[in-house]
Amino acid sequence: MEHAGTGPGWALALEHSALGETLRQALWLYPAANVLHVLAVVAMVGSIFAFDLRIMGVARSLPLAALARLLLPIAAGGFAVAAVTGFLLFTADATAVWNNPVFVYKLGLIGLGLVNIVVFHLIPWRGVETWNTDLPSPGLAVAGAFVSAAAWAGTATLGRLIAYF
Amino acid sequence: MILPNSRKTLAAAAVLLVLAATPAAWAHHGWGSYDSTALTTLDGTVQSVSFANPHASIQLESQGKTWFIVLAPPSRMTTRGLPDGTLRQGQTVSLDGYVHKGEPAELRAERIRVDGKSVELR
């Protein structure tokens, strides 16, 4: 099986770019990006799970708005680092990864997770002052927390599985 | 605002999405796609070398055909004593590995013998 290969033009161009070449040839850049990608995902998914659990009803004495000020920047920062390092890893092997069906599903789950964030902040989160502490979260917020946990756990799972399919 | 069972529906949809990825994925090429029940030994001549991330590879002329041999990441090759340049076109090598279940001329090497030394790749 030839790996230097076939795929859409943009993926070929990315793979053959100077950046792609550097990632393939430099001994430690690719492993370093790989490690940073994992650390970023750990920070992001961990903080998201903590926030989701609080919305689902765990530790209701913790004020949600205050918790959000700690956890959401960690999640956003983790996402930014994961996106950059993920792009670097993709560039090294763009056509093969693009042809890997697991990767496409992973992108789909990332899309679902991002749409969920937007919907969550536009609708239930607006009224958070009324259920900030010691109260059950509204159904729509809880549903969003479940979608979030599933989407990001699925994203991390499929990310790991790219290497196995 | 929200249907009583929409939570379950959403959870089920997420699970289905993950499961849906599986059948299409079997066709592809991953670590599990090599037949690890039969260790195969190949002796042959190196046609070309790619010392690149995520894993190095060579084209090997052996048993009358050209094999695609998957080796280890360049960083591991280097620390185990096979840095860039030590594998060269025209060299005679011997290796043990597992043949791909769907690609009869692709082999994932477990070890390679070159220049009188044996290097473990896993």
Q: How many angstroms separate the CA of residue A23 from the nearest CA in chain B?
A: 7
Q: Where are the alpha helices (DSSP H) in chain A?
A: 9-15, 18-25, 29-56, 64-92, 94-98, 101-122, 139-161
A140 touches B: beta carbon within 8 Å: yes
Contact status, residue A120 vs residue A144, Cβ threshold 8 Å: yes
Q: How many angstroms separate the CA of residue B94 from the nearest CA in chain A?
A: 20
A164 touches B: beta carbon within 8 Å: yes
> Alpha-carbon dihedral of residues A78, A81, A82, A87, nearest 10 degrees?
160
Q: Among residues 79-98 of chain B, which lie with CB inside 8 Å of chain A?
A: none
Region B31-59: mean pLDDT is 94
Q: Where are the alpha helices (DSSP H) in chain B?
A: 6-26, 74-79
β-pair type (B106-114, B65-70): parallel
Res. A165 pLDDT band, cuts 50 70 90:
confident
Residues on chain A touching B75 (C-beta within 8 angstroms): 27-28, 31
Provide φ and ψ at A7, rounded to 5°. 165, 180
Q: Is residue B10 over pLDDT 80?
A: no
Q: What number of other Cβ atoms are within 10 A of residue B105's Cβ?
A: 16
- State how far Cα A92 lies from the chain centre: 20
pLDDT tens profile A61-108: 999 999 999 999 999 999 999 999 999 999 999 999 999 999 999 999
pLDDT tens profile A103-156: 999 999 999 999 999 999 999 999 999 999 999 999 999 999 999 999 999 999
Half-sphere exposure of A80 (CA within 13 A, CB side): 6
DSSP character string of A148-163:
HHHHHHHHHHHHHHGG
Cβ–Cβ below 8 Å for B14 and A92: no
Q: Among residues 45-84 of chain A, which lie with CB inside 8 Å of chain B?
A: none
The structure's pTM equals: 0.81
Among the partner residues B18, B32, B106, nearest to A157 by beta-carbon distance:
B18
Cβ–Cβ below 8 Å for A100 and B31: no
